[in-house]
Each structure stands twice: as C-alpha cells, then as structure tokens.
C-alpha cells in the first residue's frame, strides 16, 4: 500500500500562521469526490486546493534522455527518484508538478508508479498537440483532464502549451477552448528569445492573465523580463533556481526578492530545475529537491523577505496557479 501522510509524518510548511490547523488540512487531503467545484487534479484524482501545501511548480520527475540526440542519461531510476521525493517530503514539500522532458513528454507509467508510492501529491499537465488541428487537439486535452492522458488513468491537472514550434496559433486556440470548457489553468512555455512576442500573442487571445502561468527559466530570462511579464498581469513559475549550484541560487534569490518587494509576491511560484541524477542528493549532488525548502527560503529570508511572503511563493501561489475552476452550469457532456 502506498505510504500516505499522517499527523505523525506531516511537518507543516514555511510561514505557517497560528491559525493554520494541521488536522483540518489533513482531512482536506481525503479529496473532494466529484470535481464539481474548485479543485486540483493530481495523477491519482481530485483534491481540495488547500491540501497542496508546499508545492514545487516545475520539476522533471520522469525526465529521460533523448537517446536519438545522444543526450546523457538523466533521471531514469524510479526507486532513486522515489527516495529523493521522500527526502523532499521529510523537509516539508507536499506536492510536485512534473513537466517531464524532452519536448514536454512525461513517462506516464513511471509518474503513476511514483504517485502511488510517494508521500506527496504529483500533478502533470496535458500537452497541446497542434498537429491534430484545433478541434481535435482541444478534445484530446478535455479527455486528458476528465478521464486520463493518452488513454491511461493519469488525470491531467493543467494544460501545457509550448510556443516554440509550428502551429502556435492552433495550439493557443486549442488550449483556450479546452480551458474554457474545463476551467483548467494554462502553463505557457515561450520560445527562447521571444518572450515579448509570446505575451503579446496571449494578450491578443483574450484569455484572462490570471489563468496563465508563464514557465520561465532564470537561466535564460533576466529579472527585467520577469518583471515585464508580471506587469502584464500573468503568473510566472521561476524555474532552474538551483540548477547551477548554491552560489548562483543566491543571485536568483536576490532577483526573486526584488520582485516581491516590487509588489509581485502574489504571482510567483518556484521550481528547482534539478534534472540530472548527479544533481540530486542521493547521487552525491550538492542540493536536491529538499533544498527548495531547506536552503532556498533561507536565501530569501537573508534578502529581507519575511516568512509569510516565502509561504506565498511556495504554498499560496502554486495553489492558485493549479486550481481548476469548473465553469458554472457547464456539465461534462461537452
């Protein structure tokens, strides 16, 4: 039987206030039954948004090398990944969003295996397939959200749309159509060097900025660009924060802290960007996913950001970004 969290194994979260009731949160994790109201869809089914806790929005649990491209092997050991997730859970992490890779693909059997055994929630998005055409691509997304991805029992928790390939217009139209019918949020992956164009394209689409999260690597996007996106009213997931080691993480923490001071602290979520096995603690790496709660918050605190603001980055903002809001009066017949 899969190990699930209990009052004895739950360690709370950063910035917990005096009114936070652990028993109430644990009770919420029993799930919400039929997802008629706001919920977060995990691979194992719907849960109340309040059950997420500390969430890493943008890891690659099932990242595998593209052998055809001669890439170096990466995270390809389920047991080692499970051990790393257990370490992260022990530090207080409660949910992880799996982006997969390369090309946004998730190893569904491996993800399911992890979800059934890890002591935390795992969320995976469904990727838009523009080659199918707008209507069929939208229908595939809706099925992935309501029934399962690619004919499996793995329910998608968001819609992922990449703007780095042919068929951008079709991809956006399909994503918006599926989002409007299901209430699922959008995770947007802009092409390198085309961030401004991506924001403009989404602006022109008419989709509400509050329902979009731009997934942006701090390796490739500067603080000024992050600020420009946030100013447009959308959310961001700042990822790759630990990918280049602790010294680089200090600089990234300073950049995130500056954005929080500028008033954007309610629209930023975080991801480590640790992908290769050698970067994780179990294989002798310096950090590991647990460092997103054991190390990175301390860097933010050193930059003058308070615990409540840190809690927003790790708990409140991911919860809002991942909450599915079913349209009022919209049944599941569409």
- Residue 230 burial (10 A CB sphere; 0-12, 13-18, 19+): buried
Could you tell me the two tokens for 186?
């959008």
φ and ψ at residue 241, rounded to 5 degrees = -65, -30
Name 313's Cβ contacts closer than 8 Å, sequence gap at least 6.
256, 260, 265, 268, 269, 270, 300
Q: What is the CB neighbour count within 10 angstroms for residue 306?
A: 13
CB 75 within 8 A of CB 62: yes
Position 304 in a domain: yes
CB 309 within 8 A of CB 301: no
Position 15 in a domain: no
Could you tell me the two tokens for 185?
């949020």
CB 157 within 8 A of CB 40: yes
Position 139 in a domain: yes
Position 111 in a domain: yes
The CATH number covering residue 67 comes to 3.20.20.140
Could you tell me the two tokens for 118?
């890890």
Name 142's Cβ contacts closer than 8 Å, sequence gap at least 6.
178, 181, 182, 334
Q: What is the CB neighbour count within 10 angstroms for residue 275?
A: 18
Name 279's Cβ contacts closer than 8 Å, sequence gap at least 6.
242, 243, 285, 286, 287, 288
The count of structural domains within the chain is 1
Position 236 in a domain: yes
At 222 the pLDDT is 83
Position 19 in a domain: no
Quick one: DSSP state of residue 301? H
pLDDT per 10-residue tile (average), the chain, 334 residues: 41 48 47 69 93 92 60 62 91 92 73 92 92 94 93 92 77 91 92 70 67 89 85 90 93 96 96 79 77 95 96 96 84 44
Position 282 in a domain: yes
How far is the C-alpha of 294 from the C-alpha of 272, rounded, in Å?
A: 12
Position 1 in a domain: no
At 72 the pLDDT is 45
At 231 the pLDDT is 86
Range of the domain at 260: 40-322
How far is the C-alpha of 237 from the C-alpha of 57, rounded, in Å?
A: 7
């Amino acid at each position: 039987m899969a190990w699930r969290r209990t009052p004895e194994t739950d360690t709370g979260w950063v910035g917990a206030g005096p009114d936070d009731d652990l028993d109430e949160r644990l009770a919420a994790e029993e799930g919400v039954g039929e997802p008629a109201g706001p919920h977060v869809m995990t691979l194992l089914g719907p849960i109340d948004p309040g059950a997420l806790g500390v969430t890493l929005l943008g890891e690659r649990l099932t990242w595998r090398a593209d052998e055809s491209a001669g890439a170096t092997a990466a995270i390809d050991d389920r047991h080692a990944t499970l051990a790393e997730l257990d370490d992260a859970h022990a530090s207080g992490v409660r949910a992880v969003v799996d982006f997969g890779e390369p090309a946004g693909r998730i190893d569904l059997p491996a993800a399911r295996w992890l979800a059934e055994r890890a002591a935390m929630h795992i969320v995976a998005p469904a990727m838009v397939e523009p080659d199918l055409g707008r209507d069929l691509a939208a229908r595939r997304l809706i099925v992935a959200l309501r029934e399962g991805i690619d004919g499996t029992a793995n329910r998608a928790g968001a819609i992922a749309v990449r703007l780095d390939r042919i068929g951008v217009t079709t991809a956006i139209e399909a994503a918006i159509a599926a989002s409007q019918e299901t209430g699922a949020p959008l995770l947007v992956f802009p092409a390198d060097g085309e961030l401004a164009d991506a924001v403009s394209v989404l602006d022109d689409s008419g989709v509400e900025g509050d329902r979009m999260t731009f997934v942006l690597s701090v390796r490739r996007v500067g603080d000024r660009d992050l600020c420009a996106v946030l100013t447009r009213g959308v959310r961001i997931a700042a990822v790759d924060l630990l990918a280049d080691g602790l010294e680089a993480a200090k600089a990234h923490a300073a950049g995130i802290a500056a954005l929080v001071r500028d008033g954007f602290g309610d629209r930023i979520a975080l991801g480590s960007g640790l992908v290769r096995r050698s970067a994780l603690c179990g294989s002798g790496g310096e950090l590991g996913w647990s460092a997103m709660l054991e190390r990175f918050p301390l860097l933010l605190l050193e930059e003058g950001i308070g615990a409540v603001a840190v809690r927003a980055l790790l708990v409140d903002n991911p919860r809002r970004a991942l909450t599915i809001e079913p349209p009022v009066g919209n049944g599941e017949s569409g």
